[in-house]
């Protein structure tokens, strides 16, 4: 059995050595540079070089806006590759926030105008009430003046015993009633002013 093991180990070593030699041969073939030779003659040489790489700018500039909220670009004022100056406007952004503030201000103005109109209408109505109350006072004074004249005439006639006491007292009562109407109209007028 010893010889069988020796033969198996020997065959394994030969197989491993063969695989290593084959691999070495293939690697050397890949490392061989093929060279083309030619006769010397006059001609133009054309050389084509291909390469890949990255073009980098000298300076990187971050572009930003002073908008408080994200906005859409509505207009671009430059084209790719164009030279720009510091402070030049490159694009316009959608102005949502200022437009919303403007709409809110317009709504406030409309509300103020409506309140002003309502207040003005109230003042006009109050003026009309005051004019109406003043007219009531003037009418009451006119009625009182007429009844005073009637009462004075009735008083003179009663003293001369030309009219009855009942007629005299009716004229007196009408005069006093008209005086009370003046006081009532003036009281309503003063309440409307305050």
171: domain CATH number is 1.10.287
Give yes or no for a contact between 90 and 78, defined as CB atoms under 8 angstroms apart: yes
The verdict on residue 126 lying in a domain is: yes
Domain range for 187 is 122-193
Structure-token pair, residue 87: 């402070």
**Helix, strand, or coil here: 28?**
helix
The verdict on residue 159 lying in a domain is: yes
List per-residue pLDDT tens for the chain, 194 residues long.
578 888 888 888 888 888 888 888 877 777 666 677 778 888 787 777 788 888 887 777 777 777 666 677 888 888 888 888 888 888 887 766 667 778 888 888 888 888 888 888 888 887 887 788 788 888 888 888 888 888 888 888 888 888 888 988 898 889 888 888 888 888 877 776 66
The verdict on residue 155 lying in a domain is: yes
């Amino acid at each position: 059995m010893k010889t069988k093991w020796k033969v198996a180990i020997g065959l394994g070593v030969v197989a491993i050595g063969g695989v290593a030699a084959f691999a070495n041969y293939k690697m050397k073939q890949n490392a061989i540079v093929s060279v083309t030779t030619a006769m010397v003659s006059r001609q133009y040489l054309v050389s084509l070089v291909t390469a890949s790489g990255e073009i980098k700018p000298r300076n990187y500039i971050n572009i930003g806006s002073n908008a408080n909220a994200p906005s859409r670009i509505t207009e671009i004022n430059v084209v790719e590759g164009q030279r720009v100056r510091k402070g030049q406007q490159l694009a316009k952004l959608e102005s949502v926030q200022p437009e919303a503030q403007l709409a809110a201000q317009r709504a406030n103005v409309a509300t103020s105008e409506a309140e002003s109109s309502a207040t003005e209408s109230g003042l006009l109505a109050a003026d009309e009430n005051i004019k109406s109350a003043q007219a009531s006072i003037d009418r009451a004074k006119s009625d009182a003046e007429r009844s005073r004249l009637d009462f004075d005439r009735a008083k003179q006639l009663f003293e001369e015993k030309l009219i009855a006491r009942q007629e005299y007292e009716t004229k007196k009562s009408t005069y006093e009633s008209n005086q009370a109407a003046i006081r009532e109209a003036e009281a309503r007028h003063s309440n409307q002013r305050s």
